[in-house]
């Protein structure tokens, strides 16, 4: 019998309890032994939860779960990179207990240290649920693509942002209106900043990049931009360009180093990622031998995330062991970050005064930064005598493009700072 303890009884923790209870016979058959919940810990013992805890020990301090006799696996579902969550994880590994976690922030910040701790204590660190909810992307990359050199990984990794952008495109809602709708549907936290500002996606991307390229997670080098500045007009222009706007996390290894960026991106309609709508997630991985593989599904919520947690538990029950990031922690590389040295195509929307010579001034700035214009789109006049103008570029150096945006923003004829989006080919 495999005995587990669960730290954190929010919607995911309660979902894990329900799944282990409801499918106990099936799980035991697939795991090769029964899985028993021996102890749990949560913020409020008296809180009403949609799961049966009548036969389980309640421990007020989750940090003490690791020291309980007979516990084989500690499940950390508290969240956050520091504090109690980190202590629970470290205590479990130091005590020789396997650790299963859904905590992407913890792993992005301390994953290498935790992996070393797991290896030194001969236990497993598993985190399928930390990225893309119920989508088995960690196992796919760590094991299914183990014989491939990964060329790139990119994904829609935040359901909240995908829902907002979908509704803005479908119904012409403003960003604020679509955000309120997402909150009403329970797709985001009371404070949605981590989602809409791109930090949730960045944590997940750092983990995927580590798995893809055998590197230490490097969250500090991820270029991050959220979706607050996206307007329905951007989605209309994207449609005119036969694209859709998605918040993408992209990682690829280039001659300049490891490129990692998160931001609203124009994705061609021909890309499978362009077809992912609502609160769904998707990850597209390109291997040198496997080619393109895309996995899509529910990226959050009690049931999908619980499914991923229990998949890790079953692997542990079977005796399956694998380095957390695909190779031993000592072999993880420290890759040089590409920062803004990579080349990409760009979409730039500007609100400009409707005066002669404006486009010429903009073109001169782009010329001076060695940026070539691919197309120019303009819509009619507004009540304020300013008009939206969109320029798309051929491949341009990222640093030069941002320098050009700064210069253009300083022109007297520019009403507001240009909105810059990458075009992902």
Do 345 and 374 contact (CB within 8 A), yes or no? yes
- CB within 8 Å of 120: residues ≥ 6 apart: none
Do 370 and 400 contact (CB within 8 A), yes or no? yes
Do 423 and 266 contact (CB within 8 A), yes or no? yes
Displacement of CA 219 from its chain's centroid (Å)? 11
Q: Which residues pair with 266 in a beta bridge?
A: 245, 423
- CB within 8 Å of 104: residues ≥ 6 apart: 127, 130, 131, 200, 203, 204, 207
Phi–psi pair at 42, nearest 5 degrees: -150, 180
Gap between the Cα atoms of 15 and 134, Å rounded:
12
Do 162 and 168 contact (CB within 8 A), yes or no? no
* DSSP letter assigned to residue 66: G
- Scan for tokens 């299963």, then name that residue: 100
Alpha-carbon separation of residue 252 from 35, 150, 269, 285 (angstroms): 39, 8, 21, 10
* DSSP letter assigned to residue 220: G
Gap between the Cα atoms of 97 and 95, Å rounded:
6
Taking phi first (over 0 means left), then psi (-120 to 50 degrees means alpha), and beta for anything else, what does residue 44 get?
Answer: beta
Gap between the Cα atoms of 22 and 230, Å rounded:
43
Longest dimension (CA), the chain: 79
204 catalytic residue (yes or no): yes
Compute the half-sphere exposure of residue 396: CA atoms within 13 Å on the CB side of its CA.
29
Do 88 and 103 contact (CB within 8 A), yes or no? no
Gap between the Cα atoms of 123 and 91, Å rounded:
12
Q: Which tokens go with 282?
A: 């998707």
Q: Which tokens go with 29?
A: 């058959």
Among 157, 422, 88, residue whose Cα is nearest residue 267 = 422
Do 158 and 281 contact (CB within 8 A), yes or no? yes
From 38, 104, 139, 204, the catalytic residue:
204
Residues marked as catalytic: 204
């Amino acid at each position: 019998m495999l005995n587990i303890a669960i730290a954190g009884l929010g919607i995911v923790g309660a979902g894990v309890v329900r799944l282990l209870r409801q499918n106990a016979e099936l799980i035991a058959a697939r795991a090769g032994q029964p899985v028993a919940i021996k102890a749990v810990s949560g913020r409020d013992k008296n809180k009403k939860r949609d799961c049966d805890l009548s036969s389980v020990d309640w421990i007020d301090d989750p940090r003490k779960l690791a020291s309980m006799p007979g516990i084989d696996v500690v499940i950390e579902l508290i969240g956050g990179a520091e504090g109690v969550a980190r202590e629970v994880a470290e205590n479990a590994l130091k005590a020789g207990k396997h650790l299963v976690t859904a905590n992407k922030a913890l792993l992005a910040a301390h994953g290498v240290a935790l992996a070393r701790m797991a290896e030194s204590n001969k236990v497993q660190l598993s985190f399928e649920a930390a990225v893309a909810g119920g989508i088995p992307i960690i196992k796919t990359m760590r094991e299914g693509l183990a014989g491939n050199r990964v060329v790139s990984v990119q994904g829609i990794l935040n359901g909240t942002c995908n829902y907002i952008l979908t509704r803005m495109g479908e119904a012409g809602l403003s960003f604020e209106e679509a955000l309120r709708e997402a909150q009403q549907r329970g797709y985001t936290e009371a404070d949605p900043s981590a989602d809409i500002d791109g930090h949730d996606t960045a944590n997940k991307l750092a983990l995927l990049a580590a798995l893809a390229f055998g590197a230490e997670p490097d969250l500090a080098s991820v270029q991050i931009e959220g979706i607050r500045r996206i307007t329905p007009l951007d989605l209309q222009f994207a449609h005119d360009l036969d694209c859709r706007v998605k918040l993408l996390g992209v990682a690829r290894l280039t001659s300049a180093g490891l490129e990692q960026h998160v931001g609203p991106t124009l994705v061609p309609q021909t890309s499978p990622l362009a077809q992912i709508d609502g609160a769904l997630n998707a990850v597209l991985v390109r291997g040198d031998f496997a080619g393109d593989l895309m996995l899509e599904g529910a990226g959050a919520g009690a049931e999908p995330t619980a499914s991923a947690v229990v998949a890790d538990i079953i692997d542990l029950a079977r005796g399956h062991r694998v380095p957390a990031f695909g190779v031993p922690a000592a072999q993880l590389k420290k890759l040089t970050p590409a920062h803004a040295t990579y080349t990409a195509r760009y979409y730039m929307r500007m609100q400009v005064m409707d005066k002669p010579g404006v486009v010429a001034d903009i073109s001169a700035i782009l010329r001076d930064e060695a940026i070539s214009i691919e197309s120019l789109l303009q819509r009619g006049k507004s009540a304020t005598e300013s008009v939206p103008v969109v320029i798309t570029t051929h491949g341009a150096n990222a640093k030069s493009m941002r320098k050009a945006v700064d210069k253009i923003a300083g022109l007297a004829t520019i009403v507001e700072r240009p909105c810059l989006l990458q075009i992902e080919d």
